[in-house]
Structures are given as structure tokens and as C-alpha cells.
Amino acid sequence: MKVTVIGTGYVGLVSGACLADVGNDVLCLDLDPEKIRILEEGGIPIHEPGLLEVVRRNVDAGRLSFTTDVEKAARFGVIQFIAVGTPPDEDGSADLQYVLAAARNIGKYMDGYRVVVDKSTVPVGTGDKVRAAVAEALRERGADLSFSVVSNPEFLKEGAAIEDFMRPDRIVVGAEDEQATAHMRQLYAPFQRKHEKLVFMDIRSAEMTKYAANAMLATRISFMNELANLAETLGADIELVRQGIGSDPRIGWHFLYAGCGYGGSCFPKDVKALIKTAKEHGHDLKVLGAVEDANDAQKHVLIHKIEKRFGSDLTGRRFALWGLAFKPNTDDMREAPSRVIISELFKRGASVTAYDPVAMQEAERIFGDDPRLSYAGRPKSALEGADALLIVTEWKEFRSPDFDAIKSRLKAPVIFDGRNMYDPDVIRELGIEYHAIGRV
């Protein structure tokens, strides 16, 4: 099938590359010429494990190409994926200007039947707005062409997006006519050879499914973080509590790890957007409001622990920080706890030496040339002469470090662990002062 993907960000590029990998002819459109230059020169503009290899393989095979030509893209694929950004407005609502601009361009240049697929995360009712935008563009040019609108939300985890796309748990499709349904069945047939993974529903239900999924996962994280804070006060161990409740099949093991808060491009934005949508329709989502408040507070927990140990005036102190990205296997620092922690340390007079396997360039873009923030080429190098070590992202390479090196390089052997990576008893037996989240 011929497929156009509008947007070469995280969702668009992964989707386009994976669809090409099963034999489709895919054209990816982006209005940012720098992104297209990087792609045409054999690189990728984002960090995602395995993506570069998939992109290069399909470019070499002639199944994947890139363009900034809007008209060419609209005339290329019968299926037109809209995978552009929906950044939050100041009031928390999703900004649909890029989605609707893409829809208008499809209507302006399409030369036959099109299936217009919302892949971006969009509020309930966006499908109607996309349909109206395409129809208006067709009317303006006096064209009598048919089209369908479909909602096909993505459920990709940053750091595991290729695996998630190629071996999905489910494929949610909101479609309301037989022609669109048939096209989506054909497109996704290679991904469900073992058993049926397509879940068809109406467009509005599909749009809400995406928000509901992310809101549920964010709720589990904030719930465990609040329990962790209580457990610490009561003298209980949140890790043992996690094992006790996770073994209940009604609860399960996923998203039960306490830490210093969630971040990224999805959970914070989608929770805000769902709260905003509810308010616009007269509903107050009290649970999600609490989820958001709890997460904002959790990003300050390590700061409170540092103040308790060193005092509120940290002038002249320097802290080693391991992990800048909001999660492992990505360079994404949007809403990352590290950003709050670094900024709060600065306010108290401290400086930071940070290490992250892939996100240091992104941190330089965010913090600029602030002299209070320096970067280390290796984890051990960040430790030299620091007052304590902060662990903010649970990268694999931090799981089993050289604790003797940590002790010898820090001014004092103190670790503030925002991801509960180590056994407190073992660490303390090594002579290291250990402050974790909700651990005895």
C-alpha cells in the first residue's frame, strides 16, 4: 500500500519506518527542512533504540522516502497519517493547529479517495474537526472527492517503540464506514498474523481510549509514589508492599515502581488535556487532578531529602547527578524530574555535574551555558569531589556500579536514589549513606 505520514517526530517516524518494514511504500512529510536533511543524509532526528537501522534498511530498499513537498505528500498515499505534535496550550488543552493544518493540506491537494488517519494524540471530537477541515478545503477548490476519517491512536513506549509497533498488544481503530475499515484491516494485516489484535470502535471512543490509557498509568505511578512517602513515615518498605500487591492478578506488576515522578511527552500532557476536556463539559475529574498534584510534588522529594541532610543553604556544594532523560533509552527531557531537581538545586546555591548516556546534548539545549551545570563523559567522572550522588533515571548501566569508586570519589559516601535501584541493606553494609524513596 502507498502510505503518507505527516510529521517525522517520534510517532511519525517510527510509524512510517515500521510500515515500510513490512512492505508498504511510505512517504514521510515534514515542513522542517533540517529534519528532512538529517533523514536524507542517513541520520535520524530523535533517539530511539533500533530506529536508525529500520530507517536505513527501508530507505536502501526504496520503500521509505522523505519530503517537504505538501502537494506531493497529499497525492502520494491513499492512507494519510497525521502524526504531528499537539503541544499543550497554557490552559492545558491540546493545541490542534498542526493537526488541522495537515487536514486542510490533504483536502487542498488530494486527487482521489483518501483515508485520513489521526495518529496524533487528540481530544475527543477532533475527528469531526478534521473531517470539517478536509471538506472545507475541498469545497474551496470545487472538488467532489470522497474521503474517510479514522482515529488510530499510538501506544508506543519511548525506548521500546519499534517492538511496540511491530508486536502490538492491540491496535485501536476508530472507523465509521466500511471502506475505511477495509483499508485499515489491509494495512495492519501483517501485524496480526497470530491472532486478532484490531479493536474497532467509533472515532470518539478511540480518541478517548488513548487518553484513558495514559491517565490510568499515570494514576498508578502517583498512587505508588504517595504510598511510598507514607511507607517511609510509617517505617514500611514500599518495595515489599509492591511485591505484595503486584502479585494480585487483579492489580498486576506494571507501573507500580515508586520514584521521583513521571515525565515525558505523553503522561503530563495527556492528563492535563483530559482534565481540561472534562472541565469544558462540566465535569471535574478529581482523581486526575490529584494525580497531577501528586506528581508535581514528587519531583521535589529528593530536594527535601537533600535539605534534611545538608540544610536549605547549599551554597558551595556540588552534586553528581546520574540520569537526565525522563526515562531510560531516550534523550527526551520533556517534563523530566531532572529539570525540576537541577533548577531547585540552583535556587539553593548548589552546582551540578550531570551524566546521561544520550540526553546531555538535550540538557545543553535546555539549560544553555549555565556555569552551574557541567557534564561528565562517564558516570565515575561526575562523582569527583561531589558532596553526594543523585540518581534520577534508571539506566541499566547504573544498576551495578562500582560502589568502592563511588565511596572514594565523593566527598562523603552519600546517595540519594530517586529510582530505588539498590538494596538499602547491601548499600549500608558497604558504608554508604543511602536515601531512597519509601524504603526502610
Q: Which residues are catalytic?
A: 266
Q: What is the 3-state secondary structure (H, E, C) of the chain?
A: CEEEEECCCHHHHHHHHHHHHCCCEEEEECCCHHHHHHHHCCCCCCCCCCHHHHHHHHHHCCCEEEECCHHHHHHHCCEEEECCCCCECCCCCECCHHHHHHHHHHHHHCCCCEEEEECCCCCCCHHHHHHHHHHHHHHHCCCCCCEEEEECCCCCCCCCHHHHHHCCCCEEEECCCHHHHHHHHHHHHHHCCCCCCEEEECHHHHHHHHHHHHHHHHHHHHHHHHHHHHHHHHCCCHHHHHHHHHCCCCCCCCCCCCCCCCCCCCHHHHHHHHHHHHHHCCCCCHHHHHHHHHHHHHCCHHHHHHHHHHCCCCCCCEEEEECCCCCCCCCCCCCCHHHHHHHHHHHCCCEEEEECCCCHHHHHHHHCCCCCEEECCCHHHHHCCCCEEEECCCCHHHCCCCHHHHHHHCCCCEEEECCCCCCHHHHHHCCCEEECCCCC
C-alpha distances (whole Å) from 26 to each of 15, 57, 72, 85, 405 are 10, 13, 12, 20, 50
C-alpha 68/C-alpha 260 separation (Å) is 40
Instruction: Indicate the angle between helix axes 286-298 and 203-234, nearest 10 degrees.
Output: 50
Pull the grid cell for residue 191.
501485524
Cell (9 digits) for 393: 533515571
Count Cβ neighbours within 10 Å for each residue of 189-219 and write b for 16 or more, e otherwise. eebeeeeeebeebebbebbbbbbebbbebbb
